[in-house]
Each structure stands twice: as structure tokens, then as C-alpha cells.
Amino acid sequence: MAADRAPSLPAVATDPLLRVEGLHQHYGGSHILRGIDLDLRAGEVTVLLGRNGVGKTTLLKTLMGVVPSSQGCIRLDGLELAKLPSHARVRAGFGYVPQGREIFGRLSVLDNLRMGLAPCPASTPLPPDLYELFPVLEQMQHRRGGDLSGGQQQQLAIARALAAGPKVLLLDEPTEGIQPSVIKDIGRVIRHLAAKGTMAIVLVEQFYDFAAELADQYLVLERGEVVMRGPGASMEADGVRRRLAL
């Protein structure tokens, strides 16, 4: 954190916003995450790839504190979060879009969005640019969440995660079951958010082309370990597509 540094050593652009070191997770006796190291920088999209069941969702859940880690550090902006509950991690700056979206079907779109403000002081307004990012949500703000299409629900889940102004946005397979035009919209939003330069984005994705288009860095997981990593621009040359198809 800036406060820990000597005045002559100001923060440099390459400092990671989030540093994860030696992260392990167990479901009972099953050792799922096996020593994950990860640095995220503001303004970058990190794509997390791997076949079914390798631990991608578990990694996001462990970062959020939805499931406990058994070992390791999760340091956001210098603050150690690994032992803190989920709500404290949200307050510290995590935003989470879970797989399957988890929209409140009986609540209106507006109330779903307000749920995203839970970590903020009462009467905090929604960020004015949410509806600019997702105009369809403004048109539908009084409809019930459950009445929206899958693509609209995905946009609602992303907007809800953005409501509290996260520093790190975790997206778990946002293109799953979504029509191509909405996938394009979601890609544009991710690019726009990254370009602002203040937020780090993690994208778990099965759709290789979508991931490759957005990636500043990539990681491939196998059996709970990072087996490949590199800059997004070299995904194809590194043979990531082939590796995922094996």
C-alpha cells in the first residue's frame, strides 16, 4: 500500500493491484487448488482457461471467500483478505459475476441492481454510467429479473457487480448460453472497463475466441495448477487452443 512505502518510492504502474500467492483449496479430502500464484494489474484482462472441472470456478469462489482457502495469500491493494468473509472482500473491492448469474427472479431489475450496493453506505446512488453500459436495463428497470432473457440477465449480473465500483471484477463464463449479439455487447463492455485503467478483470471462459480477443494475459489451469501463462497476444502461438482441445 502507498502508506507502507517510503515517500521517495511512489507507486509504479507495474505494481499488481491483486497478488495471489500459494493459494490452496480443499473440498473435504479433495485437494482442488494446488498453489495458485497470480498477479492482476489495473487496466488488464486476465483470462483463465482450462477444461471442465480443473478448478476455475473454485478459484473465483476462493478469491471471493464463498469457499475457504486452506493456505495462501490474497492481497488486494496491499490488504490481506484470505481470512476475511465475502462481504469484507466486496467492501475491499471485489465484484463477482457467478456462473449461472444468480439473478433474484422475483425482484425488479432496479432492486437487483440495488443489491449490488449492499457494501456501500445507505442511500448511495447507482453509478450513472451503468445504464450507459447496458441501456436495455434502463428500459427494463421495473420488470422482474426472472422475466429477462438469458442475455439480459447476464448483463444485469455484470451491472450488479459493477454497482459498488469494484477494483477487481471476476466474471465466470459470461458467454455461457448467450446469443452472439449479446456476447458482442459484453465483450465491448469488458474492453471499455479495462480501458479506463482502474480495474483488473478476470474472465473465466470456455469460448476461446472471445477469451483470446480480450486477454492481456492468460492462464491455463489443469488439476488445480497453473500449467501455462503468458501475454494474451501469444495465446495462439503458444498453442493454448490446441492444449484446451486435447
17 binds ligand ATP (CB under 6 A): no
Nearer to ligand ATP, 36 or 136 (CB): 36
Complete DSSP assignment for the chain? -GGGS-TTS---TTS-SEEEEEEEEEETTEEEEEEEEEEE-TT-EEEEE-STTSSHHHHHHHHHTSS--SEEEEEETTEE-TTS-HHHHHHHTEEEE-TT----TTSBHHHHHHHTTTTSPTTPPPPTTHHHH-HHHHHTTTSBGGGS-HHHHHHHHHHHHHTT--SEEEEE-TTTT--HHHHHHHHHHHHHHHHTSS-EEEEE-S-HHHHHHH-SEEEEEETTEEEEEEEGGGTTTTTHHHHHH-
Q: Which of 20, 56, 148, 153 binds ligand ATP (CB under 6 A)?
A: 56
> Is residue 54 a contact residue for ligand ATP (CB under 6 A)?
yes
Q: Which of 22, 35, 53, 135 binds ligand ATP (CB under 6 A)?
A: 53
How many Å apart are CA 191 and CA 186, to the nearest integer?
9
Instruction: Give whichever of 48 and 214 is closer to ligand ATP, judged by the CB atom.
Output: 48
Pattern 110-149, ligand ATP, x by CB under 6 A: ----------------------------------------
Q: Per CB under 6 A, which of residues 186..205 are in contact with ligand ATP? A: none
- Residue closest to 36 by CA, chosen among 225, 165, 228, 211: 225
Q: Determine, following the binding rule CB under 6 A, whether residue 177 of this chain makes contact with ligand ATP.
A: no
Q: Is 245 in the site for ligand ATP (CB under 6 A)?
A: no
Contact 42, 198 (CB under 8 A): yes
Residues that bind ligand ATP (rule: CB under 6 A) add up to a total of 11
Provide the minimum distance between the beta carbon of 55 and ligand ATP in the complex, in angstroms, as a whole number.
4
Q: Please tell me whether residue 52 binds ligand ATP under the rule CB under 6 A.
A: yes
Nearer to ligand ATP, 50 or 166 (CB): 50
Q: According to CB under 6 A, which one of 5, 11, 27, 177 is a site residue for ligand ATP? A: 27
In the numeric block, which cell numbers belong to residue 60? 473465483
Question: Measured from the CB atom, is 82 or 140 closer to ligand ATP?
Answer: 82
- Does 181 contact ligand ATP by CB under 6 A? no
How far apart are CB 27 and ligand ATP at their closest, in Å?
3
Query: Residues in the site for ligand ATP, rule: CB under 6 A?
Result: 27, 30, 32, 50, 52-58
